[in-house]
Amino acid sequence: MKVQVDRRDGLTAQADVTASGVFERAEKDDTFPRTLQKEDDATRGVIKAAWARKEIKGKRKELTVFHRPDGKGRIALIGLGPRGKFTADTVRRAAAEVVRGFKGKGARTVAYRLGTFVADNVRSEAAVAALTDGAVLGNYEFLKYKATSDGGFEEASIHLGEEFSRDEAALKKVSADQATLDDVVVWTRDIANLPADTASPERLAAEATALGKEFGLKVTVFDEKKLLELGCGGILAVGGGSAGHPPRMIVLEYPGGARRGRTVAVVGKGITFDSGGISIKPGLNMQDMKFDKSGAVAVLGILRAAATLKVPPRVIGVMCCAENVPSGTSYRPGDVVRSFNGKTIEIINTDAEGRVVLSDGLGYVVKQYRPDEVIDLATLTGAQVIALGDDCAGLVSNDDKLAEGLLNASAATGEPVWRMPLTDFHRELVKSDIADVRNSTDIPVAGMLTAAAFLESFVGGTAWAHLDIAGPAYTSAKTRKYQPAYQNIGATAFAVRLVTRYLETAPPRG
Ligand code: BES
Ligand code: ZN
Ligand code: ZN
C-alpha cells in the first residue's frame, strides 16, 4: 500500500473513502463537532441530521458511512472513544478499523483528514505516524495461497488542510519513515505466515542470504556439519528428528550507522514447526505451531529494518532454526545434550525445545561478538499466554536500563509488554540432578519464568532481555475480535517495530 501526505483538506481529494475521526459524545451533548463541518457540507447536511438523531456516538470502532450526493465516494466517520483515553494507539486502531471496514466493498483509495485525528496529547507528527501504521498494517492480508482476493486498498493519503500545511515537509518525512518500517513488517509477516513445508530452516537461511546480498550485510549459515564442529548440541538435538528439513543457525551482521560503538545482539527462536517431538502435543490447533519460528523471523525483519533505516548501533542477528518432529532420530526425554558454551542440558520434555536451540545462539553470540546487550525473541511458553494473554509479551531482564528502553519503545509502537521478575526460586527449578540445567521442571509453576531462568544461564554477565512472544506473535480466528484491527489473522511480526524503535532511540551505554 502506498501512503502519501498532502496539504489539501481531504474532501477535494475524491478518494473512494474519506475518513474522519469523531470523539465520543457525552449523553447530553448535542453540539455538532466543528471539525466535521466540511464533511457535513459534502453530504449537504445529512451528517448533522444523523448527529441530531444520535446515530453517531463516537464510540471506539463505531463506523458510520455516508454516500456523497455528488457521487464522489463515501465519507466514513470512525469513533475514537472518549477524549480522556485518546492516545496515538487510538489513531492507529481507528485507521485500521476504517481500512478493514471497507474490505470487499470496492474501495481502493482512502483519505484521512488529519485535523480530526489530533488532540493536545497526540500532535500532528504522532497522528501521521499512527495513521500510516494503522492503514498499512490494517490492510495486510496473506494472499500467497489465495486464487482470488478482494484486493484491499492500494493507496492511503493523509490530508493536512490549512491547519497543518505549514508542516508539510516534516509530516511527509514522518509518514515516509513509518511506511518504510511498515513495509518491513509486511515483508516479515509474509515470511512468518509461510507453512512449515515451505519455510524450512534452509529456506529461512536462503531468505537471510538474499537479505544480506540486497543490503550488503555479512550473513553466515551454519549447516549440520558446521554446527557439529562448533559444538551446537542444542540445535542439532532439536533438529535431529527431521529427515527433510535439517537445522540451521544463521548469523547476520549489520555494521552500524553513523554513531558507531555499541553492539546489540538479537537472537530468535526459529522452530519451523513444533509438534512437541517425542513429547508430542495434542492435535488441537497444532497447525498454529508453524508460527513457532516467529522470533527468528522477527530477527530477520529487525535486521532488514536496521539496514533500511540505518540505525546507530551495530546489530548482530542470530536465528536458531530447526524443525521439532518425532521420528527414530529424534532427541528424547532423558537425553543429555551439550550446548555451545559447554553447559550440559538434561532433556525432560522435548516440547521445551525453544530454550534448547536458544542456548546455542545466546552462548555463541556472547562469546563471538561480546555484545553490549542481547535481546532474545521467542514464542517460548504456553505459560506466557496464560499469564498475559494474546496481545502482551512477557519481558524478563537482568538489566534495568535495557528493560526500560524496551518498555519505552513498546509504549511508542503500541506493542504491549509487561516485565516479570526472575528469582532464585525459578533458578532452582531448572537445576538438574545429572546435568548443569534441565529444560523443564517437576512442578508446573511460573513456566514463563523458569524458561527465562534457563536462558539466563547462557548469557553470562551480558545485559540481557528476553521477550516471550508466544501470545502476540500471531492472531487466531478466535482471538481476532479482541485484537486491534491492525492485527489480521495470522502472523503479526510482533517486536519488529518495537525492537527497531529501541535501536533507533536508545542512548549509547556507559
Ligand atoms: N512453542 C511452544 C510454546 C507456545 C505455546 C507458543 C502456545 C505459542 C503458543 C513451546 O515450545 C512449548 O511447547 N512450551 C511448553 C514448555 C513445557 C513443555 C515446559 C509449554 O509452554 O507448554
Ligand atoms: Zn515446544
Ligand atoms: Zn516451541
Number of Cβ within a 10 Å radius of residue 155: 15
Torsion sign across C-alpha atoms 96, 102, 106, 111: negative
pLDDT at 287: 98
What are the residue ranges of helices labelled H in 318-416? 354-369, 382-388, 400-413
432: phi then psi, degrees, rounded to nearest 5:
-115, 150
Residue nearest (by alpha carbon) to ligand 1 atom 9: 470
How far apart CA 246 and CA 347 sit, in angstroms, is 20
pLDDT at 497: 98
Between helix 201-215 and helix 294-309 the angle, nearest 10°, is 0
pLDDT at 168: 98
Enter the C-alpha cell of residue 475. Answer: 492472531
pLDDT at 510: 67
Catalytic residue among 38, 92, 290, 355: 355
Enter the C-alpha cell of residue 150. Answer: 478482494
- 353 Cβ below 6 A of ligand 1: yes
- Determine the distance separating the centroid of ligand 1 and the alpha carbon of 64, expressed in angstroms: 42
Please identify which residue in the block is written with the cell numbers 536462558. Answer: 455
Catalytic residue among 60, 83, 103, 281: 281
Contact yes or no for 502/405 (Cβ under 8 A): yes
Distances in Å between the Cα of 40 and the Cα atoms of 24, 49, 51 are 18, 9, 10
- 450 Cβ below 6 A of ligand 1: no
Ligand 1 atom closest to the CA of 383, numbered from 1: 21
- 440 Cβ below 6 A of ligand 1: yes
- 351 Cβ below 6 A of ligand 1: yes
pLDDT at 258: 66
**Which region holds residue 107: left if phi is over 0, alpha if psi is between -120 and 50, else beta?**
beta
Ligand 1 atom closest to the CA of 281, numbered from 1: 13
How far apart CA 255 and CA 452 sit, in angstroms, is 29
The burial class, CB within 10 Å (0-12 / 13-18 / 19+), for 313 is: buried
Q: What integer best gives the mean pLDDT of the chain?
A: 97
- 274 Cβ below 6 A of ligand 1: yes
Contact partners, residue 290, CB within 8 Å, separation at least 6: 194, 195, 196, 199, 272, 273
- Determine the distance separating the centroid of ligand 1 and the alpha carbon of 183, expressed in angstroms: 30
Per-residue pLDDT of the chain (510 residues), as tens digits, is 999 999 999 999 999 999 999 999 998 888 999 999 999 999 999 999 999 999 999 999 999 999 999 998 999 999 999 999 999 999 999 999 999 999 999 999 999 999 999 999 999 999 999 999 999 999 999 999 998 877 799 999 999 999 999 999 999 999 999 999 999 999 999 999 999 999 999 999 999 999 999 999 999 999 999 999 999 999 999 999 999 999 999 999 999 986 558 999 999 999 999 999 999 999 999 999 999 999 999 999 999 999 999 999 999 999 999 999 999 999 999 999 999 999 999 999 999 999 999 999 999 999 999 999 999 999 999 999 999 999 999 999 999 999 999 999 999 999 999 999 999 999 999 999 999 999 999 999 999 999 999 999 999 999 999 999 999 999 999 999 999 999 999 999 999 999 999 999 988 876
**Residue 281 designated active-site:** yes
Alpha-carbon radius of gyration of the chain? 24
Q: Give the residue from 243, 438, 495, 253 showing the smallest Cα distance to 364.
A: 253
- Determine the distance separating the centroid of ligand 3 and the alpha carbon of 282, expressed in angstroms: 13
Ligand in nearest proximity to the CA of 276: 2
- 267 Cβ below 6 A of ligand 1: no
pLDDT at 495: 98
Contact yes or no for 74/66 (Cβ under 8 A): yes
Q: Give the residue from 19, 154, 156, 10 showing the smallest Cα distance to 75.
A: 19
Ligand in nearest proximity to the CA of 381: 1
pLDDT at 481: 94
Q: What is the pLDDT of residues 314-367, one digit of tens each?
A: 999 999 999 999 999 999 999 999 999 999 999 999 999 999 999 999 999 999
- Determine the distance separating the centroid of ligand 3 and the alpha carbon of 388, expressed in angstroms: 18
pLDDT at 184: 98
Question: What is the torsion angle, in degrees rounded to the nearest 10, for the CA atoms of residue 504, residue 186, residue 124 and residue 32?
Answer: -150
pLDDT at 259: 59
DSSP three-state, residue 220: strand
**Residue 355 designated active-site:** yes
Between helix 124-138 and helix 88-101 the angle, nearest 10°, is 40
- Determine the distance separating the centroid of ligand 1 and the alpha carbon of 379, expressed in angstroms: 7
Q: Which neighbouring-strand residues pair with 490?
A: 475
Ligand 1 atom closest to the CA of 324, numbered from 1: 11
pLDDT at 151: 77
